[in-house]
């Protein structure tokens, strides 16, 4: 029996193309899943785990293996209650395990994307209305802003949390709710031809990040006013099938921003530019090819830990003809610490401590990732990965770290 299981696994991984059909590991539940879909109810589930170790560098060497179970249900209210274009969506998450970055490396950007909110969480819970042949979409309820803004399917190809799900600097700089941390919000988008316009408003209740509430603190208390964001996108496609997306966005927080540098400052804000562009198509009959992408974020240095952040990468999907859904992925992420905040922090420490201090301001942290996304079946993906962290935490006192590992993802 053990030999058969090993042989099956090797067939799934090494066999030409996709070895096993069906989009879900648990199948169609003897037809129940299809019957529920026909009635207007869809179920989704996934599991992901990131094994990672740092044999070289960091504060010490070790390994961790956090994981995440995620589930969601969607009710098509047009089918169920004849409410045209309306749906109800709810998702939950259970995360466990420790972070290699915090336990052993001591760097800023977590190297494992499934770490964060290590407990059971009620995630998104919202009503959605789609109008005018889905040209206009409205969502109201408990929302994760990171699912709609500063996002791209291409970011999900990476293991580092610096890129997956969103460029990470906005999480350090501003109130930005990312999965599984949802807050009260409203979202609207509309499309005109090749242009897509998005607008969002979110409650800034910092309790959403506290695990003790498990995502179920439904108060409307907003400590910093409203988080307002907009993103405008141009969807490009050439005559040769080369697709691209170009996005500009900006956000502001309306309330006072309490910060350690100079007490309260006026509302915070930031801007960003994102793009992805396919440069080469392996087969004109498919969408697989070589795509380059970039993300550039700016925020004021007097109130943000990372006033400048960028990430650049390449994804080559379908590089091997017999495995059209595999992808070779390379990326670099760079976050520059605010010199204004760091200098103020150093002076504050020197006033409290006696004697000279060998303290240096933070510079920048850089991460480089190379991985191979291996789509063994439609519901099973393996991603061997190597990462290199340059100047962890930005002080220059922690050794550069080499990280290796593997990510496993299952669609249940």
Stretches in the chain below the pLDDT threshold 50: 1-19, 259-263, 346-358
**Per-residue confidence (pLDDT) for residue 278, from 0 to 100:** 94
Domain span at residue 137 reads 45-335+363-411
Does 88 fall in a domain?
yes
**Per-residue confidence (pLDDT) for residue 303, from 0 to 100:** 87
Does 294 fall in a domain?
yes
**Per-residue confidence (pLDDT) for residue 266, from 0 to 100:** 61
**Per-residue confidence (pLDDT) for residue 378, from 0 to 100:** 94
Beta strands in 136-268 (DSSP E): 136-143, 183-192, 195-203, 226-237, 243-253, 257-259, 263-265
**Per-residue confidence (pLDDT) for residue 238, from 0 to 100:** 79
Are 152 and 169 spatial neighbours (Cβ–Cβ below 8 Å)?
no
pLDDT tens digits, 355-394: 444 456 789 999 999 999 999 999 999 999 999 999 999 9
Does 21 fall in a domain?
no
Does 20 fall in a domain?
no
The kind and range of the H/E element at 130 are: strand 120-131
| Tokens encoding 30 | 């003897």
Number of domains observed in the structure of the chain = 1
| Tokens encoding 144 | 């994760």
pLDDT tens digits, 271-288: 999 999 999 988 777 778
**Per-residue confidence (pLDDT) for residue 240, from 0 to 100:** 74
Beta bridge partners of 332: 312, 368
**Per-residue confidence (pLDDT) for residue 342, from 0 to 100:** 62
Does 151 fall in a domain?
yes
Does 16 fall in a domain?
no
CATH number at residue 104: 2.40.160.180
Q: How far apart (Å, rounded) are the C-alpha atoms in residues 175 and 342?
A: 21
**Per-residue confidence (pLDDT) for residue 127, from 0 to 100:** 98
């Amino acid at each position: 029996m053990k030999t058969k299981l090993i042989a099956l696994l090797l067939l799934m991984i090494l066999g030409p193309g996709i070895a096993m059909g069906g989009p879900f590991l648990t199948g169609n539940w003897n037809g129940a899943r299809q019957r529920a879909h026909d009635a207007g109810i869809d179920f989704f589930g996934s599991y992901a785990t990131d094994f990672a170790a740092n044999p070289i560098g960091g504060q010490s060497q070790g390994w961790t293996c956090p994981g995440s179970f995620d589930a969601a249900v969607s009710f098509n209210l047009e089918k169920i209650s004849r409410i045209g274009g309306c749906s109800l969506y709810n998702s939950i998450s259970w995360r466990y395990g420790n972070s290699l970055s915090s336990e052993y490396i001591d760097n800023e950007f977590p190297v494992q994307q499934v770490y964060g909110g290590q407990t059971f969480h009620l995630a998104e819970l919202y009503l959605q209305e789609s109008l005018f042949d889905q040209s206009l979409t409205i969502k109201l309820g408990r929302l994760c802003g990171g699912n709609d803004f500063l996002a791209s399917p291409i970011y999900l190809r990476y293991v580092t949390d610096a890129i997956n799900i969103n460029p990470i600097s906005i999480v350090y700089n501003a109130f930005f709710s990312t999965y599984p941390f949802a807050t009260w919000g409203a979202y609207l988008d509309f499309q005109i031809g090749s242009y897509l316009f998005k607008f969002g408003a979110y409650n800034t209740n910092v309790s959403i990040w506290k695990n003790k509430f498990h995502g179920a603190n439904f108060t409307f208390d907003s400590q910093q006013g409203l988080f307002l964001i907009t993103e405008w996108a141009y969807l490009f496609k050439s005559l040769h099938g080369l697709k691209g997306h170009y996005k500009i966005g900006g956000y502001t927080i309306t309330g006072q921003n309490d910060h350690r540098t100079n007490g309260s400052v006026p509302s915070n804000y930031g801007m960003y530019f994102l793009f992805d562009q396919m440069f080469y198509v392996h087969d004109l009959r498919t969408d697989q090819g070589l795509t380059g992408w970039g993300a550039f974020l700016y925020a004021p240095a007097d109130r943000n830990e990372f006033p400048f952040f960028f990430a650049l990468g390449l994804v080559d999907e379908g590089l091997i003809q017999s495995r059209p859904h595999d992808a070779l992925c390379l990326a670099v992420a760079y976050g520059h610490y605010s010199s204004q905040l760091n200098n103020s922090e150093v002076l504050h420490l020197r006033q409290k401590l006696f004697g000279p201090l060998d303290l240096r301001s933070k510079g920048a942290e850089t991460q480089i990732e190379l991985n191979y996304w291996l789509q063994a079946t439609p519901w099973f993906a393996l991603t061997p990965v190597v990462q290199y962290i340059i100047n962890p935490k930005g002080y220059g006192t922690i050794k550069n770290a080499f990280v290796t590992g593997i990510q496993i993802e299952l669609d249940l």
